[in-house]
Amino acid sequence: MHSKAVRRLGELVTPSPAKLTRDEIAKRCNVTKQTVSDWLSGRYKPTLDRMLEIERMTLGAIKVADWVDPPSEEPKEATG
């Protein structure tokens, strides 16, 4: 799962006026607050254009690459 981006977005989404609200993110990304909640829960990923908007609004604190899951390593076969 894209936990790095989800964790960082969750850290930035609070009721505090110094941070982003779900409503602000939803308005800037042209989605519903429920969609933002789905991103925060890890249920869905934003589209690339919305990832870019999130990167802009967080001043690079959350980068597009943070949404990409690292490749899983395949178990190595034993030789011999």
pTM: 0.70
Q: How many domains does the chain divide into?
A: 1
Residue 72 lies in a domain: no
pLDDT in tens, 46-64: 999 999 999 998 888 888 8
79 pLDDT above the threshold of 70:
no
Residue 74 lies in a domain: no
pLDDT in tens, 2-50: 677 877 787 777 655 557 888 999 999 999 999 999 998 889 999 999 9
Can you read off the two tokens belonging to residue 71? 């490749």
Residue 47 lies in a domain: yes
* 3-state SS, residue 13: strand
CATH number of the domain that residue 44 is part of: 1.10.260.40
Residue 19 lies in a domain: yes
Quote the domain boundaries for residue 30. 3-67
Report the distance separating Cα 25 and Cα 4, nearest Å: 18
Residue 41 lies in a domain: yes
Identify the pLDDT of residue 78. 55
